[in-house]
Chain A
Amino acid sequence: MSTALFLIQLLNGLQLGVLLFLVAAGLTLVFGVMGFINLAHGVQYMVGAYLALAFTGLTGNFFAGLALGLLAALVLGLALEFLIFRHLYDRDHLDQVLATFGIILFLNEAARTIFGPTPLTLDPPEILSASIPLMDGLLYPVYRLALIAVGLLVALGLWLVVNHTRTGMLIRAGATNPDTVSALGVDIERLFLVVFGFGAMLAGLAGALAAPIFAVEPNMGDDLLITAFVVIIIGGIGSIRGAFIAALIVGLVDTLGRSLVTDLLRLFLDPSSANQIGPAIASMLVYILMAAVLFFRPTGLFPAKGAA
C-alpha cells in the first residue's frame, strides 16, 4: 500500500474515531453517572442526521440546518428523559434494555415512514466542499478535515467542562459514586437531565456531521451504537478520557483493518481465500479487540467506578 493511501486511511480512521467519540461520550456518561443502559442512544445519532437533512432542506443553508437540527435533537433527548427514562433509573438493566429497545423500534420505523427506506444524502456546505492536496497525488475533502477538527474541539471542550467546572466535578463524582453525591444534597435529578440532554445533543451532532459523508438511512444508528458500546467498554464505563482514547483506537483499527487485513493475509494465504477471510476478520477486529481487553482488564482500560 502506498504512503498516500495509508495516509488517507489514517485520516478516515481518525474521522470515524471522532464520530464514535461524540456518540460514546454521551453513552459513557449516561451509563456511568446514572447506571442506565440506553440502547436508544444510537437512534439519537440517526435522528440528528435526519433532522440536519430536513432543516437544511427547509432553510437552504447547511449551518442553519445543523444548528436547528441540534436544537431539535436536544429537545427530543430531554423529552425522552422526562417522559420515559426518568422512570427507569432505579430499575434493573433488563428493563432498561427492553424499554430503550422499544424506542429504537419506534424511532427507526418512524424515520422509515416519514423519509422512506431509501438512503438519502446531504451535500456538504459550499465553502467546505472542495478538496485540498495534502501531499503529491493526495486530495482530501476539506469537509472531512473540518469534521475531524470539530470533533477534536468538542473533545477538548468536554475535557474542560468535565475537569474544570463545578458541573463537571459533579459528573465525575456521580460516575464514581452516585449514592454519595446524592446524599451530599446535590439535585441528582437535574444533574441527570443535564447529562442526558447533553449526551443526546452530542450524538445528534455526530449524526448531523456524518450526514454529508455516509448515507442517511433509518437503521444507521444501530451499527454505530454497537460500535460505540465497544468503545465505552474498552475505555471503561464512565470515563471520558477512556472513551476518547478507545474511540480513536477503534476508529483506526476498524478503518485500517479493513484495508490491511486482506493484504496481510495474502502474505501467507492464496489470494482467493485471503479475499474471502480478510473482510470477515476485518469486521470482527474491533470485537476481538474488545474481548481481548476484557480478558485482561474485565472493567476496561480506564474504569471510573471503584477508582475512589
Chain B
Amino acid sequence: MTDAARDGADPEEATSAPPSVSALLGPPPRIAGNRLDWALGAVLLTILALLAIPGEALLGPYIAGLVMKAMILALAAISLDILIGQAGLVSLGHAAFIGLGAYVTGISLEEGLYDATTILALTVAASALFALVTGAISLRTSGVYFIMITLAFGQMLFFAASSLSQYGGDDGLTLWSTSELFGTGILQDDTGLFRVTLTALAGGWLFAGLLAGSRFGRVLRAAREAPIRTETLGFEIFRYRLAAYVIAGVIGGVAGFLLAHQAEFVSPAAAAWQRSGDLIIMVLIGGMGTRSGALLGALAFVALEEGLSLVLHEWRLIFGPLLVLLVLFARGGLVAALARLTHR
C-alpha cells in the first residue's frame, strides 16, 4: 500500500479540520526520551575523550585502532540515522559514501596531493554531488523501492571502485603516507588522528542533535508521519528529503576520509552492500531515531565483532542468531532498553 493510499483511507484525514502547523510540527517524538539521548551521547563521548588523553600509551596500538574504527563507523551510523530515524528513508547504500570519501582521499594522496583541507574539500564536494544526483533519482521512489535503488547506486560505486585498476582495482590501494593538516603531521600520528576522529564524531553527533531539534528536523519527521498533510501545509517534501540525503552523504564521505587515514588502505569492500547492512544494524541495535543510539550501536557492533571473534573464529555463527533474537525479542534497541531501566 502506498503512503498516498493509506493517507486517503484515513477517515480522520477527510473529516477533521486541518491541524495547525504547531500541532503538526510539535515537539519531537520522545522515542526514548530526548534528554536520555543527549545524556547518553555525552557520557559515551566523555569516555572516549578520557581514552584519548593518554592515547596509545594506555590502549596499545591495536585497541586504539579498533576504537578509532568504531568511532568512524559511529559517525557514519549517525549520518545514516538522520535518514532512517528522522526522514524515514531506509538507505541500503550508505556505505557508498564511506567508499567514495575513502577513494577520493586515497586517489588524492596517490596523486601527490597531501593537504588535508584540500582533500577534505574534495571529499565533501564529491559526496555532495553523488548524493545530489543519486538522491534526486532515488527519492522519486519510496518504501522498498527506495531501499533497492539506493542499493543499486551503492553497487555502481562498488564496481566503479573495483575497476580502478591503476588504483589497485579489487585488491585496494595501500596508502604509503597520509595527509598533512596545516603542514602538521597530526593526521599521521595515531594519537593525533584519534583526537581528530573524536572531534569529528562529537561534531557529527552534536550536529545531528541540533538538526533533529530544528525546524528542518521537524519537517522531516512530519513528512515521514504524514506526507500528504505536510505537503498540503506547503512544505516541499522532496527538497527537505534531498537536503537530508545530501547532508547524510557528506557526513558519510567525511567518515570515509577518516577511514582512509586510520586504515592507511582503501578498498572496494568499504563500499560493499554488506557494509551498508552493517550500518543499518548499528542504527537499529542502538535504537533508531536517536543519534546516541547510533553511536552506542556502532561501538557495540565493533565490540561484539571483536569480542566474539576472540571466543570463536567463526564468530558470525553467534552474531547471526544474536541479531535474529535481538529483532524478535528486543524491540527498539539498546536505547529503548536503557530508557526502560531508567524509568523504573
Q: Are B274 and A222 in contact (CB under 8 A)?
A: yes
Q: Are A94 and B160 in contact (CB under 8 A)?
A: no
Residues of A within 8 A of B321 (CB): 102, 106
Given the interface contacts A109-B317, A280-B163, A298-B145, does A94 sit within 8 Å of B324 by beta carbon?
no
Query: Nearest Cβ in chain A — how far from B88, in angstroms?
Result: 10
Query: Nearest Cβ in chain A — how far from B100, in angstroms?
Result: 15
Given the interface contacts A102-B324, A103-B324, A288-B156, does A229 sit within 8 Å of B280 by beta carbon?
no
Given the interface contacts A98-B280, A276-B165, A294-B149, does A105 sit within 8 Å of B320 by beta carbon?
yes
A39 vs B322: C-alpha distance in the bound complex, in angstroms? Answer: 17
Q: How many A-B residue pairs have CB under 8 A?
A: 130
Q: Which residue in chain B gives the minimum CB-CB distance to A31?
A: B144
Q: Are B320 and A103 in contact (CB under 8 A)?
A: yes
Query: Nearest Cβ in chain B — how far from A90, in angstroms?
Result: 12
Q: Is residue A153 contacting chain B, with contact meaning CB distance below 8 A? A: no
Q: Is residue B1 contacting chain A, with contact meaning CB distance below 8 A? A: yes
Which of B135-143, B198-206, B226-234, B335-343 lies at the binding interface? Answer: B135-143
Interface residues of A, count at CB 8 A: 48
A180 vs B98: C-alpha distance in the bound complex, in angstroms? Answer: 44
Residues of B within 8 A of A233 (CB): 145, 148-149
**Cβ-neighbour of B327 out of A31, A98, A109, A283 (below 8 A):** A98
Q: Are B281 and A294 in contact (CB under 8 A)?
A: no
Q: Which residue in chain A gives the minimum CB-CB distance to B163?
A: A280
Residues of B within 8 A of A280 (CB): 159-160, 162-163
Summarize A's interface: helix, strand, loop or mixed.
helix
Residues of B within 8 A of A87 (CB): 328
Task: Give the size range of B's interface with the partner.
Answer: 35 or more
Residues of B within 8 A of A95 (CB): 284, 327, 331
Q: Is residue A226 contacting chain B, with contact meaning CB distance below 8 A? A: yes
Q: Are B277 and A101 in contact (CB under 8 A)?
A: yes
**Cβ-neighbour of A104 out of B1, B145, B151, B320 (below 8 A):** B320
Query: Nearest Cβ in chain A — how far from B60, in angstroms?
Result: 28
Q: Are B84 and A291 in contact (CB under 8 A)?
A: no
A298 vs B4: C-alpha distance in the bound complex, in angstroms? Answer: 14
Q: Are A284 and B159 in contact (CB under 8 A)?
A: yes
Q: Which of A102-129 contact B (CB under 8 A)?
A: 102-110, 112-113
**Cβ-neighbour of B324 out of A99, A108, A229 (below 8 A):** A99
Q: Are B155 and A105 in contact (CB under 8 A)?
A: no
Residues of A within 8 A of B92 (CB): 97
**Cβ-neighbour of A105 out of B142, B151, B323, B328 (below 8 A):** B323
Q: Is residue A240 contacting chain B, with contact meaning CB distance below 8 A? A: no
Q: Are B320 and A97 in contact (CB under 8 A)?
A: no
Query: Nearest Cβ in chain B — how far from A17, in angstroms?
Result: 18
Q: Are A98 and B314 in contact (CB under 8 A)?
A: no
A101 vs B284: C-alpha distance in the bound complex, in angstroms? Answer: 12
Residues of B within 8 A of A226 (CB): 151, 155, 273
Given the interface contacts A101-B281, A295-B137, does A93 sit within 8 Å of B147 by beta carbon?
yes
Q: Are B90 and A102 in contact (CB under 8 A)?
A: no
A101 vs B92: C-alpha distance in the bound complex, in angstroms? Answer: 12
Q: Are A306 and B2 in contact (CB under 8 A)?
A: yes
Q: Which residues of A contact B (CB under 8 A)?
A: 31, 37, 39, 84, 87-88, 91, 93-95, 97-99, 101-110, 112-113, 222, 226, 229-230, 233, 237, 276-277, 279-280, 283-284, 287-288, 290-291, 294-295, 298-300, 305-306
A-B pairs, 4 with minimum CB distance: A106-B320, A102-B323, A280-B163, A105-B320
A-B contact pairs, 24 of them (CB 8 A): A39-B277, A84-B328, A91-B327, A93-B147, A95-B331, A97-B90, A98-B280, A102-B326, A105-B320, A107-B320, A109-B314, A226-B273, A229-B148, A233-B149, A276-B163, A283-B162, A284-B155, A287-B153, A287-B155, A290-B148, A290-B152, A291-B149, A298-B141, A306-B5
Q: Which residues of B contact A (CB under 8 A)?
A: 1-2, 5, 84, 90, 92, 137, 140-145, 147-149, 151-153, 155-156, 159-160, 162-163, 165-166, 273-274, 277, 280-281, 284, 288, 314, 316-317, 319-324, 326-328, 331
